[in-house]
């Protein structure tokens, strides 16, 4: 994943919760990739967003739990914005148990 990230890439993650934690911000390919994989591993399916835009939809089972918007410059990702609802993913995990 780090191969497609620009050296100046940064990412921000917003967790939907009550109370909501502050947004998590990471800078640099290694930190951004590590944090993104922390939330998207294991058992996550990524599909391209509507109309082929620079967005990904993250599903656990058949439940949407995150939307990831990419800002691309040239052939590199320069920014990643993610909004996640951990309760949607937790619901899928609970259903499998």
| Pairing, β 45-48 against β 24-27 | unpaired
- The two beta strands, 76-84 and 5-15, are parallel
pLDDT at 94: 45
pLDDT of residue 71: 96
Domains of the chain as residue ranges with CATH? 2-96 (3.10.450)
pTM confidence score: 0.85
Structure confidence at residue 66 (pLDDT): 95
pLDDT tens, N- to C-terminus, the chain (97 residues) = 788 999 999 999 999 999 999 999 999 999 999 999 988 888 899 999 887 789 999 999 889 999 999 999 999 999 999 999 988 887 654 444 4
């Amino acid at each position: 994943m780090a191969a497609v990230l620009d050296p100046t890439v940064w990412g921000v993650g917003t967790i939907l919760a009550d109370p909501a934690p502050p947004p998590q911000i990471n800078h640099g390919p290694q930190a951004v990739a590590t944090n993104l994989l922390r939330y998207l591993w294991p058992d996550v399916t990524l599909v391209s967003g509507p109309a082929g835009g620079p967005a990904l939809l993250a599903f656990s089972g058949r439940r949407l739990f995150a939307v990831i918007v990419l800002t691309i410059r040239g052939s590199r990702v320069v920014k990643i914005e993610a909004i996640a609802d951990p309760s949607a993913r937790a619901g899928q995990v609970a259903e499998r148990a």
